[in-house]
Structure 1
């Protein structure tokens, strides 16, 4: 796989290690304190561990070679596992927390050993911050100066996007849980803990919906990242054998990219020279952008008077 995939794998292992330790600590603290917010956070961390395992499975399956049934390989399988992670985050992390909070609203109970809960939450913040730092370090390597939100909307790396989204949700959820426990201790009213549990659940569901929306676009079929698409088009247009590009489409295929080009070619001495020029263009693209796994190039001639251009995305037979 590419270095981008290696960076994603590293970020996933950071998150898995952090969330494994956090989940154990939170479950122990929830048993000692009876805190609903702490239990919701423990379930969230356990769900995150499962999520990271799913993402690792997806990255491993994406490496399978192409076969007769899947001639373009299995790279897009990572989108399926990313969608599974988003759904798990929504239902197991978010919906469970909301239901747990509603139950504590109906039957409030006091928190025992609140300082244990606060201590565990404090340690969890440090571990989650470490995990988020690892994810953001990998993101900065490939973001090309984009803001995080712009990168989040435009990235085609579903697994890294999911890890970053989970870490941000986890840190915000920890802050809410910490506040809920503090307010419960200060006021002596356990309803604060119940409200904190619901708030954590709602937060997780919002993040999950954002991730689902982005992964849905990838599953449906997105072009290569806008800057990559534009750079490849510019590269082709700059070649001396190309007069103009009539149409170009690109599609992200997991870590790989497929492009199809319909270009008006300048006159060549022979058909062999035309083929050689096209091969040179394709070789140049794949040398500069190794992620371009497939390049389908259709040469065309300038339109004569009365001819109509082909519709976008439709190649001539």
Structure 2
């Protein structure tokens, strides 16, 4: 298993452990207090647990070996499961919370034992912070100093992106729920609790839309991260066998990478020498980037020149 895959798996297990405990506590508190915002948060945490299971399934399936029907393997199956997570976050987490909030807004009920609800929310913040810390720790290992939003837009690790997005949404949702319950208690108006549930739902839906947009790009087919693509081109152009790179295509395939090169080669003594030169360039690429499982090299000449 690659280090990137190990980092993603660690982050997913951090999130699964934290969200499992949070979901149980929130459901108990929601039943005890009758808080709509708390119930919305409980559904959100249950949705997150399901999401993490989906991501683990995706990582496991992506390791299946290539076969005649899938000659390039199953690496991109992680993108499918990441999209499933985004849809689940939108509908089960976000839409359900909004519907639940609207129901409580139309038929407001006072919160019983608000101290219990606030205590559970506080504990949830601690556990969710632990989960986010684990995800950010793994992100920092691969982000190479990039700001988080830049990494989020450029990363090709859908599973780690989803975990980080979920954790951030969860912490913001907890803050909204805490404020909503507090206002409901201070003002004696349970409508604040309903508005909190709606706010949590809308927040989850917004985050789900951002995740869906990024995963859609991965499913459609994205190049390697910009700095990797640029480094590959610089590496090829620096090779003594290559005169000029005419075209370079990189395609991220889950954890793996496909490279297709069209280049003008320096003159060689024979056809065999040209083949050896191409093989040397391909071997150097795969030595530098072990994730580059496929490398296709096309020697060519510039149009209008000998």
Structure 1 residue aligned with 2:25 = 25
SS at match of 2:246: strand
In structure 2, distance between residues paired with 1:248 and 1:21: 48
Structure 2 residue aligned with 1:283 = 283
Q: 1:300 Cα deviation (Å)? A: 1.3
SS at match of 1:262: strand
In structure 2, distance between residues paired with 1:105 and 1:60: 43
Structure 2 residue aligned with 1:121 = 121
Question: Which digits, 9 at most, give the CA deviation of each residue in 1:132-152, with x for residues without a partner?
Answer: 000000000000110000000
Q: State the TM-score, normalizing by the size of structure 2.
A: 0.99
Structure 1 residue aligned with 2:34 = 34
Q: 1:302 Cα deviation (Å)? A: 3.7
In structure 2, distance between residues paired with 1:241 and 1:249: 19
In structure 2, distance between residues paired with 1:302 and 1:47: 55
Structure 2 residue aligned with 1:312 = none
In structure 2, distance between residues paired with 1:54 and 1:150: 25
Structure 1 vs Structure 2 CA RMSD: 0.8
Q: 1:46 Cα deviation (Å)? A: 0.2
Q: State the TM-score, normalizing by the size of structure 1.
A: 0.96
Question: Which digits, 9 at most, give the CA deviation of each residue in 1:97-138, with x for residues without a partner?
Answer: 000000001000000000000000000000000000000000
Structure 2 residue aligned with 1:293 = 293
Structure 2 residue aligned with 1:232 = 232
SS at match of 1:71: coil
Structure 1 residue aligned with 2:83 = 83
In structure 1, distance between residues paired with 2:220 and 2:101: 35
Structure 1 residue aligned with 2:176 = 176
Structure 2 residue aligned with 1:107 = 107
State the 4+ residue runs in structure 1 displaced beyond 2 angstroms: 301-305
- Matched residues, number: 306
Q: 1:301 Cα deviation (Å)? A: 2.4
Structure 1 residue aligned with 2:149 = 149
Query: Residue 206 in 1 paired to residue 184 in 2?
Result: no
Structure 2 residue aligned with 1:266 = 266
Q: 1:304 Cα deviation (Å)? A: 2.9
Structure 1 residues not aligned, in runs of 5+: 308-317
Question: Which digits, 9 at most, give the CA deviation of each residue in 1:30-52, with x for residues without a partner?
Answer: 01100000000000000000000
Structure 1 residue aligned with 2:255 = 255
In structure 1, distance between residues paired with 2:285 and 2:116: 58
Structure 2 residue aligned with 1:164 = 164
SS at match of 1:56: helix
Of residues 270-279 and 194-203 in structure 1, the stretch that sits farther from structure 2 once superposed is 270-279
In structure 2, distance between residues paired with 1:80 and 1:139: 21
Q: 1:18 Cα deviation (Å)? A: 0.1
Structure 2 residues not aligned, in runs of 5+: none
